[in-house]
Amino acid sequence: MQDVLGNTLGLKPSQLHALRRTYRRRVDAQSIVSPELARHLTEVSLETNRQIGVLLDRKGDVQAVVVGDAKKLELPDVGRSRAGDSRLRGLRLVHTHLNGEPLSRDDHTDLALLRLDLVAAVEVQDDGLPGRVHYAHLLPENPQGAMWKDEVAPSVHELDYDALSGALALEDEFARARAIRRTGGKERAILVGFGGRERGRLEAEASLEELRELARTAGVEVIDATLQLRRDPDPRYLIGKGKLEDIVLRSMQLMATMIVFDSNLSPSQARHIAEATSLKILDRTQLILDIFAQRAQSADGKLQVELAQLQYLYPRLVGRDDSLSRLAGGIGGRGPGETKLEIDRRRVRDRITALQRRIEALGENRHLRRKQRNARGLPVLSIVGYTNAGKSTLLNALTDSDVLAEDKLFATLDPTSRRLRFPRDREVIITDTVGFIRDLPPDLVNAFRATLEELTDADLLLHVVDASDPRQEEQIAAVEAILKDLGLAEKRRLLVLNKIDRLPASEGAALAHQRDAVAVSAATRDGLPALLARCEKLLWADGRVALGDVVEARDGEGRAPDAPEPAPPPREAERPAPSATPVEGEPGPRLLPATLRRVS
């Protein structure tokens, strides 16, 4: 015979014996509870002054007998909930309430989180007999957004709810609703922001807004967003257990398939939260990594993203593999290559080492290619800036190209280079790079170090800022911090305030003056001549880089022997300045499809 669970300490042997005998009882499959079982429970309950509960399966057999205290009953672990599944648990909870109280918050939470078929509370009367019965079952999605329905029966003899048919009908409804949702195919996410001592409300709100953009970029449908303010993060659940429960309940109501946290979760928080729900859990870093994985085009890019994902995942792998299997596909589980993430730690470690080697090797190639590409030792101008600032649009405007530019974060992953011709036959190579973002995951910075190496070759960095974004100050600071991280703090740079077409006239110029920047609109080309003049001055004013002796002046290296002969510069008349040609070996920009292209 199975054991009695829960708060059994201090029970008399006779009471324990009576409780054990409960396992022998059964009710018919349709009834919530039989009058006999109810009476047995209320009698023992009165005698022990504790709540007594049973979990009944769909055949009506007793699966567990649980003892609580006078006010509540804690259910044993009945296995992880299978939310996302349209089925219910196949168990109903029938327990006693000693003070005539209705179903409690805990009762409802258990009903929803454990996906029980039903929860019932039988009132214990003073004479030990069963009184009214309160019960609740889940509801299918409804316009009121109600999660469950509460009912009361005046006595156990007047219970006319068919528990079995009710549960089966509900499962049908859930399955239907899910099938409809699925046709959309998108993940449905609840976003959770977090603010506290370290990050105030305004900052947390702004960050949550940005997370929304990230989610949109990742192709996730955001169905709800909530901000939790709390002095200090909860070490286990970040936002605290109660709040997490609320969110999980809400996610069930809204049929969410994932919860995305705006803060990064520690490995232990990720584990605890994953244990509290079976929804997919993602944090900010994982979402960013996923976007990168979706967007990586080049061999380099794919390897770098995979490396970053594995490095992030590695400390989060703990013996059991179900946190892994939930990462097996879709948002957050997307590997850029064929590799599924369902591999154990050891293999992850081996893979990390192998990736690092390959990236290194590619890095050497890249270095060579760069040298060949720039055999003439042209000055290099690199565009950097916050994601979505308009870097690619600026490159396009300056060089008449059509590099992909769109209103999404991280449109650009792979560096793209073009030649940009100034008046007087002066030429530079201009490079577009991956956008930066605040709290850029360190693993990602590391992984992309190879790509960002290009920046170390730059003679001048154009730091592009979206001057119409209210968060531009933080964005500038975030970019500066990352540049410093990359050892580029000393690089010469020019601040370019973009999108001034969105500002009231003359405000752009005033801002630019204030910050010693150049105000432009890459969209309307406003301010571009001034920008070019400024660049020209910075690049050539000191005579360091002058056409003709650039090779020695730059790095003392001549053109690689197998590099193609650079085409003679076209005459001014043929090619109005400024204008661009793609770097040698590449067809003209207009001939290529409008996808990301790299110069190799």
Ligand X SMILES: Nc1nc2c(ncn2[C@@H]2O[C@H](COP(=O)(O)OP(=O)(O)OP(=O)(O)O)[C@@H](O)[C@H]2O)c(=O)[nH]1
d(CA 249, CA 181): 18
389: which DSSP letter? Answer: S
The one of ligand X, Mg ion, none whose footprint includes residue 372, by CB under 5 to 8 A per kind, is: none
Query: Closest residue to Mg ion, Cβ-based?
Result: 412
> Binding residue for ligand X (CB under 6 A) from 502, 515, 559, 575?
502
Order of strands across the sheet that contains 221-229: 221-229, 188-195, 258-261, 280-283
Least distance between Mg ion and beta carbon 277 (Å):
36
Q: Which amino acid appears at position 201 of this protein?
A: R
Closest residue by Cα to residue 497 from 528, 474, 539 = 528
Q: Nearer Cβ to ligand X, position 312 or 410?
A: 410
d(CA 453, CA 507): 35
The one of Mg ion, ligand X, none whose footprint includes residue 406, by CB under 5 to 8 A per kind, is: ligand X
407 lies in the site for ligand X, by CB under 6 A: yes
The one of Mg ion, ligand X, none whose footprint includes residue 388, by CB under 5 to 8 A per kind, is: ligand X
3-state DSSP percent of the chain in helix, strand and coil, to 5? 40, 20, 40
> Binding residue for ligand X (CB under 6 A) from 31, 263, 392, 475?
392
> Binding residue for ligand X (CB under 6 A) from 393, 399, 451, 581?
393
CA 394 distance to own-chain centroid: 29
Size of the site for ligand X (CB under 6 A): 23
Q: Nearer Cβ to ligand X, position 412 or 451?
A: 412
Least distance between ligand X and beta carbon 536 (Å):
21
> Binding residue for Mg ion (CB under 5 A) from 412, 416, 431, 451?
412
Q: Nearer Cβ to ligand X, position 42 or 217?
A: 217
Stretch of residues binding Mg ion (CB under 5 A), selected from 137-145, 258-266, 363-371, 411-419: 411-419
- Dihedral sign, Cα of residue 348, residue 329, residue 405, residue 443: negative
CA 168 distance to own-chain centroid: 35
Q: Nearer Cβ to ligand X, position 247 or 461?
A: 461
251 lies in the site for ligand X, by CB under 6 A: no
Least distance between Mg ion and beta carbon 405 (Å):
6
Pattern of binders to Mg ion over 282-321, x per CB under 5 A?
----------------------------------------
> Binding residue for ligand X (CB under 6 A) from 6, 233, 390, 582?
390
392 lies in the site for Mg ion, by CB under 5 A: yes
Residues in the chain: 600
d(CA 429, CA 419): 5
> Binding residue for Mg ion (CB under 5 A) from 73, 248, 411, 531?
411
Sorted by sequence, the CB contacts under 8 Å of residue 500 that are 6+ apart come out as 467, 468, 507, 508, 509, 519, 520, 521, 526, 527
Sorted by sequence, the CB contacts under 8 Å of residue 365 that are 6+ apart come out as none
130 lies in the site for ligand X, by CB under 6 A: no
Helical ranges in 80-200 per DSSP H? 105-113, 163-184
Least distance between ligand X and beta carbon 597 (Å):
14
530 lies in the site for ligand X, by CB under 6 A: no
The residues that bridge with 421 in the sheet, in sequence order, are 427, 579
d(CA 121, CA 51): 10
521 lies in the site for ligand X, by CB under 6 A: yes
Q: Nearer Cβ to Mg ion, position 280 or 391?
A: 391
Q: Nearer Cβ to ligand X, position 148 or 410?
A: 410
d(CA 463, CA 445): 18
Pattern of binders to ligand X over 408-437, x per CB under 6 A?
-xxxx----------------------x--
Stretch of residues binding ligand X (CB under 6 A), selected from 125-133, 169-177, 389-397, 487-495: 389-397
382 lies in the site for Mg ion, by CB under 5 A: no
Contact between 225 and 212 under an 8 Å Cβ cutoff? The reply is: yes
Least distance between Mg ion and beta carbon 516 (Å):
25
Q: Nearer Cβ to ligand X, position 499 or 554?
A: 499
Structure token digits, residue 510:
């005033």
> Binding residue for ligand X (CB under 6 A) from 74, 439, 480, 501?
501
> Binding residue for ligand X (CB under 6 A) from 250, 391, 421, 493?
391
Cis amide leading into 578 (omega within 30): yes
Burial class of residue 535 in the structure, from the number of CB atoms within 10 Å of its CB (0-12 exposed, 13-18 middle, 19+ buried): buried
**Coil, helix or strand at residue 357:** helix
d(CA 499, CA 518): 11
Closest residue by Cα to residue 298 from 359, 357, 353, 386 = 359
Residue 221 parent element (H or E): strand 221-229
498 lies in the site for ligand X, by CB under 6 A: yes
Pattern of binders to ligand X over 168-207, x per CB under 6 A?
----------------------------------------
Structure token digits, residue 210:
């940005």
148 lies in the site for ligand X, by CB under 6 A: no
Stretch of residues binding ligand X (CB under 6 A), selected from 107-115, 401-409, 449-457, 587-595: 401-409
Stretch of residues binding Mg ion (CB under 5 A), selected from 68-76, 270-278, 403-411, 455-463: 403-411
Distance separating the N- and C-terminal Cα atoms of the chain: 73
Least distance between ligand X and beta carbon 438 (Å):
13
d(CA 261, CA 245): 14
Backbone angles phi, psi at 138, to 5 degrees: -70, 160
Contact between 264 and 68 under an 8 Å Cβ cutoff? The reply is: no
Residues that bind ligand X (CB under 6 A): 385, 387-393, 405-407, 409-412, 435, 498-499, 501-502, 521-523
Residues that bind Mg ion (CB under 5 A): 391-392, 411-412
